[in-house]
Structure 1
Amino acid sequence: MTITEHTAPAWEELVSAALLGTTRRRPPIEVGAEPVDPAGALLDAAAVATVRRRAGLRPARSAPRPAVAPDDPRPLPPPAARSRLRDLLNDRTHHGGSGGGRRGAAPSLAELLPQWLAAAGRYGYRAPDAVLPDLLDAARARTDLRSDALALAGPRALWLAELNPEWKFALRSGNRGAAGDAAADPRAAQRLWDEGLFAERVALLTRIRERDPAAGLALLSGTWAKERAEDRLLFLDALRTGLGPDDEPFLEQALTDRSRNVRATAAELLSALPGSALSHRMTERALACVALDRTGVGPRIVVEAPHACDAAMERDGVTATPPPGRGERSWWLGQLVEGAPLAIWRDRFGGRTPEQIAALEVADDWQPDLHAAWCRAAVRQRDARWARALLGPPPVPAGAVAAVGDPAKLLSVLPEDERAVWVAEFIAGHGLSEAFQLLGACAVPWAEPLGRAVVDALDIAREAGSYPWSFSGVMGLAERCLDPGLAERLEPLTATAEDGSNASPGSGAYWSEAFQRLVTTLRLRAAMLQELAG
């Protein structure tokens, strides 16, 4: 068979014949009288066409070589820890979420990856070069990994991101190392502020505020009028670092910003400055609405909510329009009380402590609105004594669970040990069904009394004969948050118990699987920490 320039078939015709098969479509080539294998003829024609296509290409101008990857002087993890990281990255797409709803006793290595990254970051390690592509792929797929993954990957992750569009998110996430270096050099800081990516500028502003709040404010003030509204909001939020009286004039000016979110954030920051003019204005408004009435049988709080929201209130961050289903006056009252310093209420109520104030009767059914506003103020102002007073002791089993406020947010204001004890007592009285959000507010790993309370409650649920899927969220948290030292204590619960008369069918086997997975995960976490420690 001879193929000439005039008889050569088009490349698309060859591909079509190959896809359909030579028995269904004869190759579009001319053959002589001798018998020819159609498949062989097709391959011969494709080989000739390939040479012709390549020979016809014009040489292209070579692209410039990439810059040399930057150096990362941080130490590598120990060999066993590096091997573990490869296993975690290879397994990340093979398993779903964790918790009692996942079947089987094998742990989810994908759920252990965030913990490995966080622990490696505490040791100051860098990622091995060979795993950087897999690490960036993992961070692209899971936003919860990005901060720790990019910190571990270091400057070489940004170098790779410049070469692969799929990793551009790393450039948007900012270069914390570059921000740290530039923060110590005014010229470098100004250059990065003028030319850097948005995330790099936010990181730079935060780092400068840690060292010199006034210098950070000056940097922001110089370009404030040119920034986009969404950028101004995040830049303003960065002023929480090093917030002080010197920031007040700038924040007062931000109260007139054209963006409602920027105005609200400026008002929130000003309300956190006890001596600010806005703080005094909110104090006057709140005191005009809330007073102590001594004319009855006992002292009680009386409330006169505002009848209108004027322009001055709106300028100070009060939103005029309430959400659906909320009355205007209660909505305005809550914002005024939330924005006022909590310290004002001691004098207002005759020197009473927060605990005594929280215990006072509130007239005319205003207690839920007033206490909810105090809860938000305690969280905003990070006032542990007010948070403790409003939270109170864990409610008894027959009592209501936190009628107002957000217990999880109030708990976040308290010291870590106190949080753990409060939630442990809550679980002992109420079980786990209402404790999921409270557990999320506790420090990891859970302190001993909290871990013990969770294990005891899970054991009680197992004895009751329900399925573990009802506690999948708590099981997932336990895998990530329980102290690995509790693995031995949990070992007896991995045995398959016989189903009781009132138990759900097969529940004993399912609980056995869930506890086996929990124990195995805890032991893996312990091994990971030991490997990272070398």
Structure 2
Amino acid sequence: MNGAPAGEDTTAPEHSWEELVTTALLGTDRRTPAHAAPGRPAPVALLDAAAVAAVRRRAGLRPARAAQRPEPAPADPRPALPAPAAHRLTALLADRSGGTGSGRRGSSPDLMELLPQWLAAANAHGYAAPPQTLPALLDAARGRTDLRPAGLAFAGPRALWLARLNPDWRFALRAAPGGGAALPDAADPEAVRRLWQEGLFAERAALLGTLRARTPALGRELLASTWAAERAEDRLMFLDSLRTGLSDADEPFLEQALGDRSRNVRATAAELLSALPGSALAERMAVRATACVALDRTGNAPAIAVEAPPECDTGMERDGVAATPPAGRGERSWWLGQLVEAAPLGCWRERFGGRTAEEIVALPVADGWQGELHAAWCRAAVRQRNAAWSRALLGSPSAPEAGGPGAVSLAERAKLLAALEPAERAGWVAGFIATHGLSEAFQLLGVCAVPWAPPLGRAVVDALNIARDAGSYPWSFSGVMGLAERCLDPAEAVRLEALLAIPDEREDAAPGAGGYWAEAFQRLVTTLRLRAAMTRELAPPTPPEPPRAVVQPPDAAG
């Protein structure tokens, strides 16, 4: 071979590549290279042999078949972003941290925390993502699952096209209905039937979800056609999709599912039926629950008497009552809670002599059953999204116990608030903050509509101001501060300007607390102004007004 190292026997058999790699890993001190020329250092002989073997390996490769070129990216018919908004998106995606790295938040806005709000606003306007931003947008959504729904909606069809070319972005295909595959039109029954019978599970689940959102009856009929042949885990997932578009028309199918051989399927069917106040299951649960809870008039004042069920019979189990309680719970109280939770709330008005929800909740409960009974009513109000009962169980936000008579935790109160209209919800949380401050309000603020209504925004700002005047550090309120940056109405920036100055520190104040508070308020004001600018940039351009015709005054001489 031309160019072979001096002294090498070119007629010797080719060195095994695996043998050379093994020798290199072990070291030439422990293993001498095979067919090494006499007098040459072992490391040099190994490298010479590897060079020759590498050339031979490359020369012996057969040309690979040319890969098929990818299809062009699909068109995105949505209008393009205004130029200022496109520049803003690039800046938001380029930022990775607004913090200082020392545990303090600093005074600069965290741009990545504003990205979800920006994406929601851009989607509301119906804009298309600039093509050059798609890689960075997909990278951001890959790292933060909370960005994926809005991010992929904004990225549009081209995100799926890119995800098929880059394994790092495959999450976009998993998040898309049917793994990104095109679903048949509901108006084509043959294509729908074929995909339902022959498609992959992800495709079938996506098809059923789409049909339930548009034509619930068709989705239910499709599921019923193959129900008996489905696997138990698939039946559970498919049944859960009936939450979308749930109506009384689904009751016969759900009643059939109550006899399913899978306990989880039976429990899900029972839960769905209990969300239909007019269903036969809801009526059966109402009979059982009202038999356990009654009005007691034997005392000086009316009260509620409770007699928990003595057993969990087969009918109760068929209707979704779990017979075995969790550790630490008594059986009878466990059964009672499930019966009351599943009973339609409307049955209690008749049971308690026409009393309203507020009047029923205000009644004393005998023998220590109040906590269990009210907690079950809370779960029923959340499941049935009953505003009247949610309002009654929440009670007054200024109550000394920091909650209503039936709210057992902040998480429960947050769920009850979700059943109220946004304005009422914001007003209740504002009253809660005015009475109890911010220390327990974080979960409640999370269920309020964005931007916060003016009363709620003022309550939060006033509570932060009170906390600053108390002389403590702002770090214990960093969670509320973060929410305020994203949820306060940008118009509140004007009121906050008075809080930017460093206040005179009290003698009992933490050292330097005033400066830290000024820094935190500066960050809040800067972020609110930035959000206002983002809103202006996303606004569609105003079309120019048509020129007005100039009307000449009549000639006086005429």
- TM-score, structure 1 length as denominator? 0.88
Does the 8 Å CA contact 2:358/2:389 hold for their aligned counterparts?
yes
Partner of 1:251: 254
Q: Which segment drifts farther, 44-53 or 147-156?
A: 44-53
Cα offsets for 1:186-227 (capped at 9, x unmatched): 344334434556455444323322332211101122233344
Contact 2:128 2:154 in 1 (8 A): yes
1:64 is paired with a residue whose SS is coil
The reply on whether 1:67 has 2:71 as its aligned counterpart is: yes
Matches within 5 A, 1:98-113: 102-113=104-115
* Alignment partners' CA distance in 1, 2:176 and 2:530: 32
Instruction: Indicate the residue corresponding to 1:159 in structure 2.
Output: 161
Distance 1:474 1:179, change over 3 A: farther
Which SS does the other structure have where 2:483 is aligned? Answer: helix
Please show how residues 490-501 of structure 1 align to structure 2 within 5 Å. Answer: 490-501=496-507
Q: For the residues of structure 2 that align with 1:95 and 1:227, how far apart are their CA atoms?
A: 50
Quote the offset at 1:11 in angstroms: 9.4
**What SS is found at the alignment partner of 2:295?**
strand
Amino acid at match of 1:457: A
Q: For residue 294 of structure 2, give the secondary structure of its aligned residue in structure 1.
A: strand
CA distance in 2, matches of 1:192, 1:528: 43
Larger Rg over CA atoms: 2
* 1:381-424 deviations in Å (ceiling 9; x for gaps): 1111111111111133x434346431111110010000000100
Give the SS at the match of 1:514: helix
Q: Could you tell me whether the CA contact under 8 Å between 1:330 and 1:369 is conserved in 2?
A: yes
Cα offset for 1:348? Answer: 0.6
* Displacement of 1:234: 3.2
In 1, distance between residues paired with 2:85 and 2:250? Answer: 45
Indicate the SS of the match to 2:164. helix
Match of 1:171 in 2: 173
Is contact 2:394-2:404 (8 Å) kept? yes
Of 84, 95, 100, 1:80 maps to: 84
The aligned runs of 1:454-469 (5 Å cut-off) are 454-469=460-475
The separation in 1 between residues aligned to 2:167 and 2:161, in whole angstroms, is 12
Structure 2: segments with no counterpart, 5+ residues:
25-35, 38-42, 541-558
Measure, in 2, the Cα distance between the counterparts of 1:528 and 1:193. 44
Partner letter of residue 487 of structure 2? C
Aligned-partner Cα distance in 1 for 2:262–2:334: 21
Q: How does 1:109-128 map to 2 (within 5 A)?
A: 109-128=111-130
1:90 corresponding residue in structure 2: 94
Corresponding position: 1:435 with 2:409: no
Query: In 1, are the aligned partners of 2:385 and 2:419 still within 8 Å (CA)?
Result: yes
Map of 2:517 onto structure 1:
511
**Alignment equivalent of 2:352, drawn from 349, 352, 357:** 349
In structure 2, the residue corresponding to 1:163 is in which secondary structure? coil
Shift of 1:44: 12
Partner residue of 1:525? 531
Query: Is the Cα contact below 8 Å between 2:73 and 2:158 reproduced in 1?
Result: yes
Q: Is the 8 A contact 1:462 1:511 kept in 2?
A: yes
CA contact (8 A) 2:259 2:266 kept: yes
Aligned to 1:34: none
**Identity, % of aligned positions:** 70
Distance 1:329 1:273 in 2: 25
Alpha-carbon distance between aligned partners in 2 of 1:198 and 1:513, rounded to the nearest angstrom: 52
Distance 2:78 2:190 in 1: 26
Note closer, same or farther for the CA distance 1:89–1:79 as it changes in structure 2 (3 Å cut).
same
| Paired residues of 2:393 and 2:405 also in contact (CA < 8 A) | no
Cα deviation code 1:504-523 (max 9, x no counterpart): 11111211221111111111
Change (3 A) 1:480 1:378: same
Cα shift at 1:48 = 8.9
Report what 2:385 is aligned to.
Answer: 382
Confirm or deny that 1:265 pairs with 2:268. yes
Alignment map for 1:127-166 (pairs within 5 Å) = 127-166=129-168
What is the aligned partner in structure 1 of residue 545 from structure 2?
A: none
Name the CA shift for 1:229/1:377 in 2 (closer, same or farther; >3 Å).
Answer: same
In 1, the alpha carbon distance for the partners of 2:254 and 2:99 equals 46
Within the alignment, does 1:394 sit opposite 2:400 as a pair? Answer: no
Distance (Å, rounded) in 1 between the aligned partners of 2:280 and 2:529: 55
Q: 1:502 to 1:267 in 2, by over 3 A?
A: same
TM-score (norm 2): 0.84
CA distance in 2, matches of 1:95, 1:504: 25
Whether 1:478 aligns to 2:481 is: no
The whole-number CA distance in structure 1 between the counterparts of 2:343 and 2:239 is: 21
Distance 1:2 1:159, change over 3 A: same
Q: Residue 281 of structure 1 aligns with which residue?
A: 284
> Closer, same or farther in 2 for the Cα pair 1:49/1:447, shift >3 Å?
farther
Q: In 2, distance between residues paired with 1:326 and 1:61?
A: 67
Once superposed, what is the RMSD of the aligned Cα atoms? 3.4
Unaligned runs of 5+ in 1: 19-29, 32-37
Query: When the two structures are aligned, how many residues end up with a matched partner?
Result: 519
SS of equivalent residue, structure 2 residue 77 = coil
Q: What secondary structure does 1:399 align onto? A: coil
Structure 2: how far apart are the matches of 1:208 and 1:179? 14
Higher RCO (Cα < 8 Å, 6 or more apart): 1
Cα separation, partners in 2 of 1:224 and 1:528, compared to 1, 3 Å: farther
Superposition map of 1:412-423 within 5 A:
412-423=418-429
Q: 1:261 to 1:497 in 2, by over 3 A?
A: farther
Alignment CA distance shift 1:9-1:485 (3 Å):
farther
